[in-house]
Structure 1
């Protein structure tokens, strides 16, 4: 997929990829990165009345047309590494959904690029909601971007918004904004306990100057019983962070906590390593990734510990997902891929269980198709069959590859966390925490 193209329609049907560029829905081309959502029809067994709108009925659509939903993802910008992982997870989910189909209908996902910025996310969401008329919106990467989309575009509409990769604590204050990844509060508590258990009573913190960085850091400070020797923000996409690193070193703290993104953290690691500074590094979820390993010297992070959202890797459905992912892409998935995969599954089941393909109807089903009251199902095929056999949204409990998806009243799910340690310039799992 051309990552520079901000308007990409992605469709997978029975495993075959078809890609149409720049909103030209009838123009196809080959695509190697697809993002499309499982389609759905209503659970009543009717031929469906969905038309891709967010509430207005365009009666010209044929009942066999695909459902269209939207996704705002980071295809470019500082969070694009997460966006790439999302698209791979989405592609696999769409294959599974459209292999089964819902009343012989597919689902198409229109993907727009947030460019990893709030304004880019707002523009992308406005296009999807106002022009394309999608009733369901997956998005976005970055808590600030997700909140900006919700407050500027989605709030006070019937459109369902489900974020794939937002852990900022402030999202809890917006119960209409759902998210698949758990709140960062559990990360902050886990980091405070981890650093304390390692024997440190003083910490220096730097965090990215946005909602994600501020909220996780505030929660850490609230949970931390020791001293805070340094606690200051930094801006994204700076050429150098030598001033920040120097001040952390001068603070005298032996434990340094980084709440930032991969590109910014890699720059900091290089500058700390070049300066010969020695400290025990800790990090929140978004400092880890291949981009960091590839752009930092071996030995520059050994011993660092990072707390990340995690999937329940011992469960059979996750292992099947991971095996399929590795066969397709030659690498293991991350938890971010799993969250994106489950966003597609949740959307598809919500559509199938709804009486009609509108935002108002999907609001009634999106939380319930993965709620704990129903019969557990670990695949789309099994969950879809429950609905096809006459079950309603409360009769199915989809168990995601990222874990149980039981949204609470604030729109937050139960989450799993994993502790990673950098060993020989690679990430090794050393423990799990259930949030």
Structure 2
């Protein structure tokens, strides 16, 4: 064999190995006000992927082909989306436990985590480090839609590297079939919000949206779905010290229904200023305005009756309930749908690796969609999937049913969507219904 041949990984040979246990993580965890993830031991061997420009797998550090399979994650460890990032990290940790208790042909999975700081440029820098320096063939990321799109257009597009976003919901991502995502398109949220506001008897609405791809995408989709009057429709920037002008203009619009498509810190400031000025309206919101920090930082009664539509896990399914039980035991907290999406990203990546002919971006591109296709045998855990695959199974043999629900990526890289409706009652989020997408 040539040296190049020695670096190729044959899946059948790999699957003859024994299972490996243990959790491998090469990034520290993040703490937020409402969630404090438990730190995990670090012990990975470093980047062991492909650079996306060749069909050659790169050995792990030291040239040991028996080391961990290394993939990357761009997560919001800091910045305005860090609360989502903390949930992602917990879901990721549980998924790594699930994978590494079984092993991928005797090898562990290692995830190198980099911080996007919830900003596009920092996210691009993080992805460049993962792809160019660590040479990972698979990147999970990012949280914010604008960050995911920036990473795809600046780093991923034109390579063989697989990108699977854990949380991005902007309708714009549908226009980039090479960019996969685990959470459903926000167009489904916008349509559901239009229906709910109309059913509640309102015919005029004021829409405030954060000035980025996520905000504009959901706002445009809402306006398209809404049959009534849009009395106010205006963007705002992140990180302003005050949003008094925004809520004043919403109040002056005369609309009795206010829709917020923004992030938790920005919405919290708006809610505080609206309350202090005595403005009254029926509030509605996209998923990004929901969080325990919002409740703790706004006056009791200021959000009463607010309705929020958020992507949901399939909470009535047994595999989700098993996941939720593990999550609560580990973190003393009920998981969010975002943790479930991150969990499913890791399991999907692991199954893609297990069914690929070699550990390269080109090979993973061939398997990442097929492991969740309905043509295969339904499996609900990584262990069950590996049992079905045996030594020589293929990606089309399995249909992974995620803890977040069926995935079934379509031709645009979008999954099947499932949405949950929350209403603020006595300053708590109460689930008040579900809708499919």
- Scaled by the length of structure 2, the TM-score of the pair is 0.89
Which among 226, 229, 239 is matched to residue 227 of structure 1?
A: 229
Q: Which residue of 2 aligns with 1:328?
A: 330
1:133-167: CA deviation from partner (whole Å, max 9, x where unpaired): 00000000110000000000000000000000100
List 4+ stretches of structure 1 deviating above 6 A.
Answer: none
Tell me by how many angstroms 1:15 deviates: 4.8
- Scaled by the length of structure 1, the TM-score of the pair is 0.90
CA distance in 2, matches of 1:404, 1:35: 32
Q: Which residue of 1 aligns with 2:126?
A: 124
- The change in CA–CA distance for 1:99 and 1:228 in structure 2 (over 3 A counts) is same
1:162-203: CA deviation from partner (whole Å, max 9, x where unpaired): 000100000000000000000001000000000000000000
Within-5 A mapping of 1:84-233 = 84-233=86-235
Q: Which residue of 2 aligns with 1:432?
A: 434
Tell me by how many angstroms 1:391 deviates: 1.7
- The change in CA–CA distance for 1:353 and 1:73 in structure 2 (over 3 A counts) is same
CA distance in 2, matches of 1:110, 1:302: 41
Q: Which residue of 2 aligns with 1:63?
A: 65
1:267-292: CA deviation from partner (whole Å, max 9, x where unpaired): 11111111111100000110001111
Tell me by how many angstroms 1:18 deviates: 6.0
Within-5 A mapping of 1:30-429 = 32-34=38-40, 51-54=48-51, 55=54, 56-58=56-58, 61-429=63-431
Q: Is the Cα–Cα contact under 8 Å of residues 49 and 135 in structure 2 kept in the other structure? A: yes
1:63-93: CA deviation from partner (whole Å, max 9, x where unpaired): 3210000000000001000000000000000
Q: Which residue of 1 aligns with 2:34?
A: none
Residue range with higher mean Cα deviation, 383-392 or 393-402: 383-392
Residue range with higher mean Cα deviation, 290-299 or 190-199: 290-299
CA distance in 1, matches of 2:214, 2:23: 37
1:17-58: CA deviation from partner (whole Å, max 9, x where unpaired): 665679xxxxxxxx934499x99xxxxxxxxxx942234444
- Consecutive unaligned residues of structure 1, counting only runs of 5 or more, are 1-12, 23-30, 40-49
Q: Is the Cα–Cα contact under 8 Å of residues 100 and 381 in structure 1 kept in the other structure? A: yes
Matched residue of 1:400: which SS?
coil
Q: Which residue of 2 aligns with 1:7?
A: none
- The change in CA–CA distance for 1:280 and 1:149 in structure 2 (over 3 A counts) is same
